[in-house]
Chain A
């Protein structure tokens, strides 16, 4: 089996998106905030966050904040809950949460909760359990979980539970590993994991491992490195991770590396990107791969960062 070429991944992340005219650079423009979260968290897991200038990152993030309290994907963009969590997570990585007006950000998140307990992504009202997770994770990091209606939020998430034990984006939506991570993560943060049928969901999740060792997100779909995060973190949160073969999954992720130029792709021999590089490294961290900082499966931040948030005061 190969090894993790961490130094090359660090170099890849630091140089990412420099290629002119690349499709990725075009699509990254508006979600630069997510890109920053993926890249910087991966760097931190590999112990190289200090290669980045904290002040530059922090001042750029703050320039993406909108007067509503939410953050945009880039300077001058409209706020969205997706970018707001990434912004808060990156500030947490640098231990700089003190630069934000916590109540202002919280007010933005609170304003997006609907009557049924669900959350919209922005003022236009798209509803999805992804946004429930984001809202809950975000206000929890800000120590303001009491400002949202947790009971209703949990009730909505449970209404998205399916007969196979999984969760979809809205009630009745097909179970999907990405949505499952969001729902399980939100339930973990709110202390509601008892509402999950852990054995049933655990069985569905471990059925996601295919012969190559990789994980897919739904039955009969191809494996993808990003599911090493979504599936694995969910299995850890419900305490069933020993049901899959860790060795085979590690091998699958390592096989997805570009061992020359760095970066990790969705499947072996595909093109690498920063999104899959993050999920690959984060997955290996969950698998306790040597040399990587442990990552928290619910907050998707390094464990030392989460400890700092909750135990420093």
Chain B
């Protein structure tokens, strides 16, 4: 069963048989007379929660209450109330937060898609302050080494960078992850986050040139990669004229079109460029024509229309989108 920390599950003594709990009367969950969403809980879970309610309602700040919250979290890490109470206890009992960090790490390893765990982790890191920086970056790295698109881990990492710092190696880290998997959209997002927000890199404008080089290489390796094409466009955010005039952008489109394979994003990017004012030369027209290996019946009047016709054919699931794009093209005189 997910959610249970394994080494705490063996040889478990029911709380009712533990001498240190003999003075507490458990309080059962009141699910109402005829529950809408009836739930039958396991005995172990019910017992832990019944005792939890007892200490919670008595507002008992004790170390046994603290270990009880750990037990409850081990059974279900998603309960906000248990985490809340645990934070109150950590504060009033002045618990060493390094120990708490270990605990969260352990819970997260089996249950990392849980909002409460990450929120708690952030709370601990915030209390520890700057000294937590490396451990938090390391921790997210570990999680990301298992699941490189882990949304919570990325959120936490962005928070650490912005709050505690550690930007210096982040672009390298993105390089590493993208070298492992060029299709990792989270890593591309992080890359954009770094080049636009790192205090050490000078911002998008300063980074644009080297990033275009990097991205064009990435596109040539995997022209079917949605993420790298979007990133390329993002490098020219609010700079359409630069986008249209950067020959590296149009050239990479042409290069991919000429291979006649995985050319969907190259075609749609070329269409975007044309819509933004780019004038393709004969090479482009020939390359696009060469992709028209079937008979369309009617001849399109210009290259942009031909591109849309091809995309309607090769991307049938989005045929209406391409028809709409075609309908928006200016009429040729």
Do A and B interact? yes
Residues of A at under 8 Å CB distance from B? 16-21, 23, 25-32, 35-36, 39-40, 52-53, 56-57, 59-60, 63, 72-78, 80, 122, 124, 126, 162-164, 168-170, 172-176, 202-204, 206-207, 209, 211, 213, 218-221, 242-245, 248, 274
Contacts A32-B37, A40-B36, A53-B34; is A26 near B42 (CB within 8 Å)? yes
Q: Are A60 and B32 in contact (CB under 8 A)?
A: yes
Contacts A32-B39, A72-B81, A243-B318; is A56 near B33 (CB within 8 Å)? yes
Determine if B55 is an interface residue (Cβ-Cβ < 8 Å): no
Residues in B whose Cβ lies below 8 Å from that of A207: 226, 318
Residues in B whose Cβ lies below 8 Å from that of A78: 80-81, 84
- Nearest chain A CB to B328 CB, angstrom units: 9
Q: Are A63 and B36 in contact (CB under 8 A)?
A: no
Q: Are B42 and A36 in contact (CB under 8 A)?
A: no
Q: Are B317 and A211 in contact (CB under 8 A)?
A: yes
CB-defined A-B contacts under 8 Å, sample of 22? A17-B39, A21-B40, A21-B42, A23-B1, A25-B39, A27-B76, A29-B76, A30-B78, A39-B36, A59-B32, A60-B31, A60-B35, A60-B36, A63-B32, A75-B32, A76-B57, A126-B122, A174-B186, A174-B190, A218-B186, A220-B149, A243-B320
Q: Are A76 and B41 in contact (CB under 8 A)?
A: no
Among B150-158, B207-215, B292-300, the stretch in contact with A:
B150-158
Q: Which of A16, A80, A242 contacts B320 (CB 8 A)?
A: A242
Complex interface bits, B17-52 against A, C-beta within 8 A gives 1, otherwise 0: 000000000000111111111111110010001000
Q: Are A206 and B318 in contact (CB under 8 A)?
A: yes
Residues of B at under 8 Å CB distance from A? 1-3, 29-42, 45, 49, 53, 57, 75-76, 78-81, 84, 87, 115, 119, 122-123, 149, 151, 154-155, 158-159, 183-186, 189-190, 192-193, 196-197, 226-227, 230, 233-234, 237, 316-321, 324
CA A172 to CA B192, docked complex, whole Å:
8
Residues in B whose Cβ lies below 8 Å from that of A209: 317-318
Q: Are B237 and A163 in contact (CB under 8 A)?
A: yes
In the complex, what residue of chain B is closest to A63 when comparing beta carbons?
B32
CA A40 to CA B35, docked complex, whole Å:
12
Q: Are B32 and A26 in contact (CB under 8 A)?
A: no
Give chain B's interface secondary structure class: helix
Q: Are A170 and B3 in contact (CB under 8 A)?
A: no
- Nearest chain A CB to B97 CB, angstrom units: 16
- Nearest chain A CB to B65 CB, angstrom units: 16
Q: Are A73 and B39 in contact (CB under 8 A)?
A: no
In the complex, what residue of chain A is closest to B30 when comparing beta carbons?
A75
Q: Are A243 and B123 in contact (CB under 8 A)?
A: no
Residues in A whose Cβ lies below 8 Å from that of B189: 162, 168, 172-175
CA A123 to CA B158, docked complex, whole Å:
22
Q: Other CB < 8 Å A-B pairs besides A26-B76, A72-B81, A207-B226, 8 of them?
A: A36-B36, A73-B80, A77-B81, A122-B80, A170-B155, A173-B189, A174-B154, A174-B186
Residues in A whose Cβ lies below 8 Å from that of B45: 26, 29
Residues in B whose Cβ lies below 8 Å from that of A162: 189, 192, 234
CA A63 to CA B33, docked complex, whole Å:
12
Q: Are A31 and B78 in contact (CB under 8 A)?
A: yes
Residues in A whose Cβ lies below 8 Å from that of B78: 27, 30-31
CA A105 to CA B150, docked complex, whole Å:
34
Residues in A whose Cβ lies below 8 Å from that of B227: 219-220
